[in-house]
């Protein structure tokens, strides 16, 4: 399997000025030293609470934010600092699907024009046939072609957004919580659609989500993020069946169980407190403030990655 995306020590800091006259500035370290790679045709899920930096990571890879540090490779070529004009050609191959499908569609354009716009840019012939083909490949019909975004459902809006992305033949898609704004029944449909498209066209996905059951369903590998850092990364089996980081364990515990009998049997472990402000991150291991097994060393020294199995890395002093 060949690598399509590689990220090395990626950093994205946002600058905050304190007061009007003060010269002091603070950094919000939204993404703080993140490294991973994704193979062609694979789905890597990026999981974390609100404010853990998962969306920022996705956006920085697409250079919607300029990275503060680190390197980004696309198909082996470094794209971190290449000039805008050159990047433009590469950027088309990397598309993003947004959390809120409605805001990703221009409300004043009909579906046909929304999907046709990038095709016109690429000078396609027979645009009408092509739009219809794209609509059908995401499960929409000809009758939707001349409707406006506010006349179709949320699920259909997301399908339109996907169809538009398909039009430019991307290789890599960042899916930023593509189903979290949708009804549960529609979520499954969109996930199936994304999965089928991946099989048919060999897409590579970076799937950003906080919904662990969805992640388990769609992805092959998972990275757990906390305060801008990856705490644990591995295959779905490794992370879900054999979680090594206390944070991962607590996250998995917090997934609701549908069967009430089962619910009683399970011992209750609740993730205490809230995620600390990334403006004032804790010293040492960022998770030590909420960690049930934290010791003195966790407060002082940031842990290194430990490879517990092949391809299964944990950033913890006391894994297991």
Question: In angstroms, what is the minimal distance from the CB of 89 to other proteins?
Answer: 8
**Chain Cα centroid distance, residue 252:** 18
Per-residue tokens: 18: 């304190």
**Chain Cα centroid distance, residue 213:** 15
- Cα separation, 91 vs 59, whole angstroms: 12
In this structure, what is the dihedral angle of CA atoms 116, 117, 120, 121, given to the nearest 10 degrees? -150
Burial class of 253 by CB neighbour count within 10 A (0 to 12, 13 to 18, 19+): middle
Q: For residues 104 and 248, which CB has a smaller minimum distance to other proteins in the complex?
A: 104
- Cα separation, 317 vs 42, whole angstroms: 30
Q: For residues 158 and 244, which CB has a smaller minimum distance to other proteins in the complex?
A: 158
Q: For residues 57 and 95, which CB has a smaller minimum distance to other proteins in the complex?
A: 95
Question: In angstroms, what is the minimal distance from the CB of 57 to other proteins?
Answer: 16
Question: In angstroms, what is the minimal distance from the CB of 9 to other proteins?
Answer: 25
- CA distances to 168, 171, 200 from 121, in Å: 9, 18, 25
Q: For residues 157 and 289, which CB has a smaller minimum distance to other proteins in the complex?
A: 157
Q: For residues 155 and 234, which CB has a smaller minimum distance to other proteins in the complex?
A: 155
Question: In angstroms, what is the minimal distance from the CB of 163 to other proteins?
Answer: 12
Question: In angstroms, what is the minimal distance from the CB of 169 to other proteins?
Answer: 11
Q: For residues 15 and 270, which CB has a smaller minimum distance to other proteins in the complex?
A: 15
Name, in order, each residue with C-beta under 8 angstroms of 233's C-beta and a sequence gap of 6 or more.
36, 221, 222, 223, 224, 239, 312, 313
Cβ distance 53 to 278 under 8 Å? Answer: yes
Structural element, H or E, at residue 13: strand 3-17
Question: In angstroms, what is the minimal distance from the CB of 17 to other proteins?
Answer: 19
- Cα separation, 277 vs 68, whole angstroms: 19
**Chain residues in the site for other proteins (CB under 8 A):** 62, 64, 88, 91-92, 94-96, 98, 100, 103-109, 117-118, 121-122, 148, 161, 164-165, 168
Determine how many CB atoms are found less than 10 A away from the CB of residue 310: 8
Question: In angstroms, what is the minimal distance from the CB of 71 to other proteins?
Answer: 21
- Cα separation, 291 vs 3, whole angstroms: 34
Q: For residues 165 and 233, which CB has a smaller minimum distance to other proteins in the complex?
A: 165
State whether residue 207 is helix, strand or coil.
Answer: strand
Question: In angstroms, what is the minimal distance from the CB of 164 to other proteins?
Answer: 7
Q: For residues 92 and 252, which CB has a smaller minimum distance to other proteins in the complex?
A: 92
């Amino acid at each position: 399997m060949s690598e399509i995306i590689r990220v090395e020590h990626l950093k994205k800091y946002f600058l905050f000025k304190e007061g009007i006259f003060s010269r002091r500035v603070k950094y919000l370290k939204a993404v703080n030293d993140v490294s991973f790679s994704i193979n062609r045709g694979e789905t890597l899920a990026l999981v974390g609470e609100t404010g853990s930096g998962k969306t920022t990571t996705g956006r920085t890879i697409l250079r919607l934010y300029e990275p503060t540090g680190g390197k980004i490779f696309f198909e082996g070529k470094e794209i971190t600092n290449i000039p805008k004009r050159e990047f433009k050609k590469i950027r088309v191959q990397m598309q993003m699907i947004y959390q809120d499908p409605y805001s990703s569609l221009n409300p004043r354009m009909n579906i046909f024009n929304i999907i046709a716009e990038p095709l016109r840019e690429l000078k396609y012939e027979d645009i009408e046939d092509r739009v219809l083909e794209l609509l059908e490949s995401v499960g929409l019909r000809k009758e939707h072609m001349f409707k406006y975004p506010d006349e179709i459902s949320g699920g259909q809006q997301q399908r339109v957004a996907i169809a538009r992305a398909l039009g430019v033949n991307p290789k890599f898609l960042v899916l930023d919580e593509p189903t979290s704004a949708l009804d549960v029944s529609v979520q499954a449909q969109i996930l199936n659609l994304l999965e089928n498209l991946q099989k048919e066209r060999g897409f590579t996905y970076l799937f950003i989500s906080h919904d662990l059951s969805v992640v388990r369903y769609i992805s092959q590998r998972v990275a757990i993020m906390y305060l801008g850092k990856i705490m644990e990364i591995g295959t779905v089996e490794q992370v879900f069946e054999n979680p090594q980081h206390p944070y991962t364990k607590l996250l998995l515990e917090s997934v609701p169980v549908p069967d009430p009998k089962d619910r009683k049997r399970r011992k209750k472990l609740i993730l205490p407190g809230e995620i600390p402000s990334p403006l004032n991150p804790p010293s040492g291991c960022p998770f030590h403030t909420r960690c049930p097994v934290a010791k003195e060393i966790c407060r002082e020294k940031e842990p290194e990655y430990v490879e517990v199995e092949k391809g299964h890395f944990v950033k913890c002093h006391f894994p297991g």
